[in-house]
Amino acid sequence: MKELSELNLPEDLRYTKDHEWARTDGDKVTIGITDFAQDQLGDIVFVELPETGDSFAAGDEFGTVESVKAVSELYMPLGGEVVAINESLEDAPELVNNAPYDKGWMLAVKPSDPGEFDQLMDRAAYLEMLKGSE
Amino acid sequence: MTDLTTPLHAWHIEHGANMAAFGGYDMPLWYSSAKNEHLAVLQTAGIFDTSHMAVVRVEGPGAFDLLQATFTNDLAGCIGPSRKPLVPGRAVYGAFLNKHGHVVDDSIIFMMSASCYLAVVNAGMGPAVTQHLQAQASGRETAVTDLSGSFGKIDVQGPQAANIMAAVLADPVAAFEKLPYFAFKGCFSERMPAAGEIRLRDGHPVLLSRTGYTGEFGFEVFTPAEALVSIWESILAAGEAAGALPCGLAARDSLRGGAVLPLSHQDIGDWPFSNHPWPFALPYNEGGHGFRKTFVGDQALLAAGDAPHTLPFVGRDLRKVTLPARVLDDTGREVGDVLTCVTDMGIGRAGDRIYSVASPDAPEGFTAKGLSCGFVRVDRALAVGTALELKDQRRRIPVWIVDDIRPDRTARRPLTGFWQE
């Protein structure tokens, strides 16, 4: 298990208390789970994602991530319509372990309220939260 | 509860293990990858710290009588199809029951001599089993002693297990001679007569046993407690070139699930120890309606006509349910609960059957995507092939009752198939 100092937590992302990350990319926001989450879950063997066109509010469950250890819910960092899902996770769910912020992204949404992004935690706040839960 | 630790605890932490509580012990769940650790046991070898398990010694002129009166298997007739008696150097699986026929714990009993047996039981169960046996011992000349914590235990499991052990044993030829499944040699305590029989190159005495909890070929190695860390390191070093991995409890759980082996206090427990996939652990007579011997709990088992049925299942894909979960029949009616649901990452479907990564006849290009599997406890007997649904708070998954799960397991194969002098 990684020490907090070993975690990869990029500066340009925003984070949630449920260990999802969000990144703005033009008018879209890309979403995945953090290095901390993938490390805690262990080998990810299945990712259940919604379909393009589905809409969610912030905090809604949008899918599950299944590791050898457990099945965990995925929650929307912000509301919006799903405009893309990472289809490569169907055959290669381990991408979430190997590259959680890159090839292991999960979905892209068109936010219904772009202001919600700014309410998410930045790196420092997320790290502080992780320290508090140790 | 304060977490107990094995002498390897610091080693596990130093090597990045993801730790969790099990049976009162703080144990590794996995090091870098539970999936790779599971696959290592099927393809090379996996090395497990199982020093959290307990050993209860039963000795004295009355030892046989006490065990025969409390253990579900028949020590006078448990070896081979002709039911020969247990002899020194052989071990047998069964359970200790209370008077209700419920499981106190399951155990493998190792016969050291006519007046000395070691009952290997589950983590944290040393005191409870010792107390249970002492309570039944009145009038019999025996001493029951909990040896928990006085030994270490390392399981070396997988096709490379014999090659790895050959590199650390002082005399592998002698050690491996006539060592079939459920046979053992030596002992971890110098105090025991068998101690000199098996030594490692470093001089330490060990009990080397052709047993395990993975369904695969391999050994359990009982060591002196103080030598555990150095023996662990020498076994790991011997396995490194072959690709052997240290393994945690997650791989142990998924391997034993695929091998249709029960986890005590989860798949067997506070209900009658009958109607389950392990009838060989009970001394049924020819007709299957009575027992060949009497033992604590026998009358309760025979009277428990409505005892629940425990059955193995396999899912359609690798998705599992999280406990607690219920079992639904094809009309949607609830018929029981899920005892174990794990994913065996070494198996998958091709055509109409299941193959393992180790199946010699797997079709070309077969990749094991993993299948969920485990045990359900239902209120009726169900035929192999019966379709059910498992339902947890989140999802429903389709599963089928089966009579076996991971094919082409190697635990029972002759040692000579895995090692040449």
DSSP B74: -
- pTM for the full model? 0.95
Listed in sequence order, the DSSP H helices in B151-306 are 161-168, 172-176, 228-240, 249-258, 298-303
Q: What is the pLDDT of residues B229-266, one digit of tens each?
A: 999 999 999 999 999 999 999 999 999 999 999 999 99
A11 touches chain B (CB under 8 A): no
CA B247 to mean position of chain CA atoms? 15
Same domain, B40 and B154: yes
pLDDT bin (cut points 50, 70, 90) of residue B192 is confident
Q: What is the pLDDT of residues B134-157, one digit of tens each?
A: 999 989 999 999 999 899 999 999
Q: What is the mean pLDDT of chain B?
A: 96
Q: How far is residue B170's CA from residue A17's CA, in Å, rounded to a whole number?
A: 55
Whole-number Cα distances in Å, B206 to A73, B161, B210? 46, 16, 13
| pLDDT at residue B184 is higher than 60 | yes
**Residues making up chain B, counted from first to last:** 421
Inspect the interface and report whether the beta carbons of B16 and A66 lie closer than 8 Å.
Answer: no
* C-beta neighbour count of B163 within 10 angstroms: 19
Inspect the interface and report whether the beta carbons of A1 and B320 lie closer than 8 Å.
Answer: no
Inspect the interface and report whether the beta carbons of B17 and A46 lie closer than 8 Å.
Answer: no
| pLDDT at residue B393 is higher than 60 | yes
CB A33 within 8 A of CB A65: yes
Could you tell me whether strands B245-247 and B46-49 are parallel, antiparallel, or unpaired per DSSP bridges?
A: parallel
The pLDDT value recorded for residue B190 is: 86
Q: How far is residue B276's CA from residue A15's CA, in Å, rounded to a whole number?
A: 48
Residues of chain A positioned with their CB less than 8 A from the CB of B28: none
Q: What are the backbone dihedrals phi and psi of residue B44, each rounded to the nearest 5 degrees, phi first?
A: -130, -90
CB B389 within 8 A of CB B328: yes
Of B19, B345, B394, the CB nearest to A68: B345
What are B338's strand-pairing partners?
A: B376
For a pLDDT cut of 90, what percent of chain A falls above it? Answer: 92
Task: Compute the average pLDDT of residues B210-238.
Answer: 98
For every residue of B36-56, DSSP letters joined together read HHHHHHHHS-EEEE-TTSEEE
The ipTM estimated for the assembled molecules is: 0.86
For every residue of B323-372, DSSP letters joined together read SS-EEE-TTS-EEEEEEEEEEETTEEEETTEEEETT-TTPPTT-----EE
Kindly report the CATH number assigned to the domain that includes residue B320. 2.40.30.110
Using CB atoms and an 8 Å cut-off, which of residues 30-69 of chain A contact chain B? Answer: 40, 42-43, 45-46, 64, 66, 68-69
Overall domain count for chain B:
2
Question: The tokens 């990319």 sit on which residue?
Answer: A25
**Residues making up chain A, counted from first to last:** 134
Task: Compute the average pLDDT of residues B301-321.
Answer: 96
Supply the range of the domain harboring residue B356. Answer: 308-401
| pLDDT at residue B1 is higher than 60 | no
Residues of chain A positioned with their CB less than 8 A from the CB of B395: 64, 71
Question: The tokens 């202001």 sit on which residue?
Answer: A115
Same domain, B251 and B312: no
Same domain, B251 and B374: no
CB B129 within 8 A of CB B71: no
Residues of chain A positioned with their CB less than 8 A from the CB of B318: 45-46, 66
**Chain B residue closest to A70 (CA)?**
B322
Same domain, B39 and B166: yes
CA atoms within 13 A on the CB side of B48: 30
Residues of chain A positioned with their CB less than 8 A from the CB of B252: none
Whole-number Cα distances in Å, B1 to B10, B23, B51, B55, B124? 20, 10, 19, 21, 12
Could you tell me whether strands A107-111 and B18-22 are parallel, antiparallel, or unpaired per DSSP bridges?
A: unpaired
The pLDDT value recorded for residue B193 is: 77
pLDDT bin (cut points 50, 70, 90) of residue B385 is very high
| pLDDT at residue B315 is higher than 80 | yes
Of A2, A43, A73, the CB nearest to B34: A43
| pLDDT at residue A38 is higher than 60 | yes
Question: Which amino acid, B240?
Answer: E
In a domain, B99, yes or no: no
Of A1, A2, A71, the CB nearest to B320: A71
In a domain, B334, yes or no: yes
Task: Compute the average pLDDT of residues B307-318.
Answer: 97
pLDDT bin (cut points 50, 70, 90) of residue A134 is low
Domain ranges (residues) in chain A: 12-132
Inspect the interface and report whether the beta carbons of B34 and A68 lie closer than 8 Å.
Answer: yes
DSSP B390: E
Same domain, B253 and B312: no
Residues of chain A positioned with their CB less than 8 A from the CB of B319: 46, 66, 71
Distant-in-sequence, close-in-space partners of B211: CB < 8 Å, separation ≥ 6: B91, B108, B181, B182, B184, B219, B220
For B291, left (φ over 0), alpha (ψ -120 to 50), or beta? Answer: beta
Residues of chain B positioned with their CB less than 8 A from the CB of A134: none
Task: Compute the average pLDDT of residues B321-332.
Answer: 97
Q: How far is residue B246's CA from residue B239's CA, in Å, rounded to a whole number?
A: 10
Kindly report the CATH number assigned to the domain that includes residue B35. 3.30.1360.120
Same domain, B357 and B209: no
pLDDT bin (cut points 50, 70, 90) of residue B194 is confident
Q: How far is residue B3's CA from residue B25's CA, in Å, rounded to a whole number?
A: 5
Of B18, B19, B319, the CB nearest to A46: B319
Residues of chain A positioned with their CB less than 8 A from the CB of B35: 43, 45, 68
pLDDT bin (cut points 50, 70, 90) of residue B2 is low
Q: What is the pLDDT of residues B334-377, one digit of tens each?
A: 999 999 999 999 999 999 999 999 999 999 999 999 999 999 99
In a domain, B125, yes or no: no
Inspect the interface and report whether the beta carbons of A46 and B318 lie closer than 8 Å.
Answer: yes
For every residue of A40-64, DSSP letters joined together read HH-SEEEEE---TT-EE-TT-EEEE
Same domain, B253 and B313: no
Task: Decide: residue B205, CB within 10 A, 0-12 exposed, 13-18 middle, 19+ buried.
Answer: buried
CB B391 within 8 A of CB B321: yes
Q: Domain A12-132 class?
A: mainly beta
Interface residues from chain B to A (CB-CB < 8 Å): 16-19, 29-30, 33-36, 38, 250, 254, 317-322, 343, 345, 370, 394-395
Distant-in-sequence, close-in-space partners of A33: CB < 8 Å, separation ≥ 6: A19, A20, A21, A65, A74, A96, A100, A104, A106
Residues of chain B positioned with their CB less than 8 A from the CB of A2: 16
The pLDDT value recorded for residue B335 is: 98
In a domain, B186, yes or no: yes
